[in-house]
Chain A
Amino acid sequence: MSYLDQKEPPRREDRLKACIAYGGSICGMADRQKRCLQDDGERCFTQGSICLLLPGIAILNSIPDSVTLLHGAIGCGSCAHSQNANVRSGSGLRRGKVKDALWLSTALNETDVIGGGEAKLTEAIREADRRYRPSAIFVVSSCVPGIIGDDIEGVVERVQPQVNARIVPIHCEGFKTKVWATAYDAIYHGIGRVLLGEPEEYQPVLVDELGELKEKYRLSRTVNLMNVSSMGRGDEQELARLLRSLGLDVNIFPVFAHPEEMYKATQAAVSVSVCPTHDDYFLKYLQEKFGVPYIIKHMPIGIANTGNWIREVADFFGFQAQAEKLIATEEEEVQAALEEFRPVFAGKKVFVSAGEFRALATTQLLAELGFKIVGIRSFHHDEFAEEEYPKLAAYGEDFPFSIANAQPFEEANLLQRTKPDLFLGHWCSNATATKLGIATHVIYNTGLNYIGYQGAYELARRLYRQLKNPSFSKKLSRYARLPYTKQWYEADPFKYIKAVGSEPNV
């Protein structure tokens, strides 16, 4: 039985043995006998983090002609205010019109908590359908309905016959999983169950046989390029450019895909993941149910990684020779362009923090650029990135590696020890390094390029800029103070991991 036959997807802790707490070193990770941290530790001191609702609605709000209906207390979904910038620029770039995201909240109050929120949700779905006439309504349930036991599927089933929009239930109860990457499964689960049906069309009286043949040919060369919002338009265009130069056509899915066109994903020749942490759940489903095979192996951040990513796709179509030619030309061009920056990068110490695959792939790019890696922090760990660790360990020098769902207190401690010249961190996670006076750059921002050869060059250009004048951080650090005690900086950075499998202090 497929996972998608269930109401909710399993948690990644259960499905993939994903974990979020580890402190050790990169060689330690590469050498582990136990390939996955089966029995993951936990912290007994934690700072706030994010839940699956955030990456979840980042994707949903991008879907045109849809409404995201958050079923929960009024604050769940406030993150949309930040994500709205991506929706605005993204719809401008892809659809020619800047548009704000449209999200609603059932804003459960005390009465609802006691009496249940199902009636309110039913009414909200009807009203949303009437008022906005969307193609799809995503009903996203957060913690409160999860605890008070609202039956979201039951409500959807009862109300669906009365509304035009297709209603997609999505489970994002934050307390249920530590691994927010479960969000991708939750979104794909909802889309897979409700939105992949082909629209019914009239049978044409005269069959255009040539047209149909052409379409068949096109589909046989169409690649589903999976993007759950880890790429902005610039990055999408870079990968589309590379795939097109192999004669392939590209269907980007699911961000900014219209609900009525989502079925196209079921017709492609192959699906290719851009970040293996994101897509396995759905790609396996597309294969099982629709016979669309998939490639999930590399993240095309970094020069070698991009080449390997292209090779995998080319292998599938038997275009090896063309791919090698493309890679050779691209590499030569980008390497030449990077020369200008290398003297500034050589030997500079860098510390990286991000989602697992992104952190590891970006680190490889930084090593290619001549940086010396002094530390990595990944948000979680699962099996997909296993092959990446030996690659990094092969650079020779060991350095601290940890797994943490943010937890800047550990980071502050590690940064004081490793004293990097440059820090790359995720959204809302760069202030710690900045206040310590370190030149800082964001490792993920959909307005910037990171992916492919263009991304490598653009990232290098930005890092060059940061290193050229880090005065913002340097000056701020003279007066800014982080909220940690003196003794904390002297303590073992992984002191609060009650870990199974943690290694001694580095």
Chain B
Amino acid sequence: MSSFIERPRYLCPLGGALMAVTAIPRAIPIIHAAVGCAGNIIWGQNGGGGLQVGGYCGGLSMPSSNVQEREVVFGGGERLREEIRNTLEVMDGDLFFVLTGCVTEVIGDDIKAVVKEFQDEGVPITFAETGGFKGNSYYGYDLVLQSLFRNYIRRDAQKTAGKVNLFGIPPFMDVFWRGNLDELRLLLQKLGLTVNTFFTAADSLEGIKNAAEAELNIVVSDVYGVEAAEVFKELYGTPYIALSLPVGPAATDLFLRQVGDALSLDRQSIEQVVEQENRLYYHYLDPLAECYNDLDLQRYSVVVGDANYAVAITKFLADDLGWLPELAVCTDPLEESQQQRLASRLAGLESGIQPHVVFETDTSEIINHLNQRWPHNKSQKYYNAFSPAFVVGSSLDRELAISLGAPHLSVSFPVANRAVLDRGYSGYRGGLCLIEDLLSAAIAGR
């Protein structure tokens, strides 16, 4: 482990947790932390979130106890009690969610006890301990799910055939979260399933409360939400499958088949949906055939992203689009087992492409990994250059793209230079969207 992380592409657990809670329908977060944490997180969203800040109760409207030196010395329990009491008067919500930050965790406030007092009065309130030193914002998302599973959902729910929960796409940290969740839900509905995705306009607190009715949890991530799925399994005996975020036909075919297998759905009806969706996808792709070739749009590529996108985009480029992703860089700090898992997802790709997978948190080091991989031009007359190239990454990877003379598309957090509303890259439609965005960037000067 290095002694620092350069330009972290994630926030603290509190940040990820706030993003998740502000995405829960009619939920009100209550931050128990120092005064600046909210602002820091919102500024982070403002700069990296594809121009999305907020949710129903987001931005600077989130209640926060703003603890000071006094609380550091004497404890913040009383201040939290006061803040919750007044929040109930001012804020209009159906679920109140207390989240802690560094300061209140280091001083050791007993949040659980304070929250319990209000629960006993019948207030719909829960909490998660999301101190900044516990991990990053992706983990904060996981902690919110864990808290919902432990403290909020109905324990006596009956398992119901055809009901599933889908998670693994962290709101706002994945700036395409809404589009991604919607698309995957629509696909699963085509298999006849009822899907709870927790955070979208189609979800409700009632649906979340009944999450234990699901017969399967589908985690569309190799990392995010996996711990929460384990907790769920422990509490309710519900099995889960964890697979990479499906982007484009190859990965989505696999996704549908795996879900089908896990639920023992009729194989033939799965194949029917797969066939239909592929037909549609290639129907849309069809008219691209002329220009794609005339403009020579195949590219070498470097993919830089979080644990979801580094794998998902690389696989799509190699197995669907027919590009040459040489280097896949995952910028999350991960444990070795998680790294191995991600690397294995990019081994043995159908296209035979073998991208080099590296785990690197520091933006300015990425170029060195490519240089090691691709020999320099030693003033040769004939040189097989890394060109034409494309960089898919975050907005921090623009300098890398410039140094390679390559166009660039921001997909993974931070996405400072794009506006994202309901766009998504998951599923079949998402693959088409991604092609549009990649090729538009490649031909911007046309």
A-side residues, CB < 8 A to B, are: 44-54, 69, 72-85, 99-110, 112-113, 120-121, 123-124, 127-128, 131-132, 143-144, 147-148, 174-176, 178, 180, 405-409, 427-429, 431-432, 481-488, 496
Contact = CB atoms under 8 A, between A and B. Distances in A.
Contact of B2 (A54, A127, A178, A406): A127
Contact of B14 (A75, A112, A144, A407): A75
Contacts of A104: 4-7
A101 to B, nearest CB: 8
Contact of A45 (B35, B40, B46, B83): B83
Contacts of B91: 409, 483-485
Contacts of A429: 59-60
Contacts of B15: 75, 78
Interface in B93-108: 93, 102-103, 106-107
Contacts of B4: 69, 104-107, 124, 127-128
A36 to B, nearest CB: 20
A48 B12 contact: no
Contact of A108 (B38, B61, B133): B133
B134 interface: yes
A76 B90 CA distance: 28
Nearest to B55: A483
Contacts of A53: 36, 40
B399 interface: yes
B12 A46 contact: no
Nearest to A481: B56
A405 B68 CA distance: 14
B31 interface: yes
B63 interface: yes
A46 B416 contact: no
Given A175-B34, A175-B72, A496 B133 contact: no
B217 interface: no
A174 B66 CA distance: 10
Which of A72, A144, A408, A429 has most chain B Cβ within 10 Å? A144
B41 to A, nearest CB: 6
Contacts of B67: 175
A107 B8 contact: yes
Contacts of A120: 3
B60 A406 contact: yes
A46 B64 contact: yes
A83 B7 CA distance: 12
A78 B89 contact: no
Nearest to A431: B59
A73 B6 contact: no
B62 interface: yes
A106 to B, nearest CB: 5
Q: How large is the interface on B (under 10, 10 to 19, 20 to 34, 35 or more residues)?
A: 35 or more
A67 B81 CA distance: 41
B106 A49 contact: no
B218 to A, nearest CB: 29
Nearest to A53: B36
Interface in B14-30: 14-15, 28
Contact of A73 (B12, B42, B48): B12
Contacts of B93: 483
A174 B132 contact: no
Contacts of B83: 44-46
B61 A147 contact: no
Nearest to A485: B92
The binding surface of chain B is classed by DSSP as helix
A100 B399 contact: yes
A360 to B, nearest CB: 21
B3 A127 contact: yes
B61 A84 contact: no
A84 B35 contact: no
A78 B11 contact: yes
Given A46-B63, A75-B137, A107-B5, A484 B90 contact: yes
Nearest to A412: B61
Contacts of B43: 50, 54, 78-79, 81-83, 427-428
A350 to B, nearest CB: 21
A73 B416 contact: no
29 contacts: A46-B83, A47-B63, A48-B64, A49-B35, A49-B36, A49-B60, A51-B36, A74-B11, A75-B11, A75-B132, A78-B44, A79-B40, A81-B414, A84-B47, A85-B47, A100-B396, A102-B7, A107-B8, A108-B132, A110-B134, A178-B68, A405-B35, A408-B59, A409-B91, A427-B43, A428-B43, A482-B61, A484-B90, A488-B89
Contact of B38 (A49, A52, A144): A49
A144 B39 contact: no
A75 B37 contact: yes
A382 to B, nearest CB: 17
Query: Considering the complex of A and B, which 6 residue pairs feature the smallest CB-CB distances, nearest first?
Result: A48-B38, A51-B36, A75-B12, A73-B132, A50-B39, A82-B47
Given A69-B4, A428-B43, A483 B28 contact: yes
Given A47-B64, A74-B8, A75-B12, A174 B416 contact: no
A78 B86 contact: no
Contacts of A486: 92
A81 B415 CA distance: 9
A104 B28 CA distance: 32
Contacts of B357: none
B46 A74 contact: no
B426 interface: no
Contact of A103 (B7, B69, B416): B7
A52 B90 contact: no
A485 B102 CA distance: 30
Given A121-B3, A132-B364, A431-B53, 10 more contacts: A49-B38, A49-B60, A50-B36, A50-B43, A103-B7, A144-B102, A147-B102, A148-B106, A406-B60, A496-B90
Given A81-B416, A428-B59, A175 B47 contact: no
A51 B5 contact: no
Given A428-B43, A483-B61, A74 B132 contact: yes
A51 B102 contact: no
B132 A106 contact: no
B54 interface: yes
Nearest to B6: A104
A77 B5 CA distance: 12
Contacts of B425: none
Contacts of A54: 36, 39-40, 43
A147 B43 CA distance: 24
Given A74-B10, A113-B133, A46 B65 contact: yes
Given A124-B4, A483-B61, A484-B90, A174 B133 contact: no
Contacts of A127: 2-4
B103 to A, nearest CB: 5
Contact of A112 (B10, B42, B133): B133
A482 B61 CA distance: 9
B40 A143 contact: no
A427 to B, nearest CB: 8
Contacts of B398: 100
Nearest to B333: A107
Nearest to B10: A74
A408 B60 contact: yes
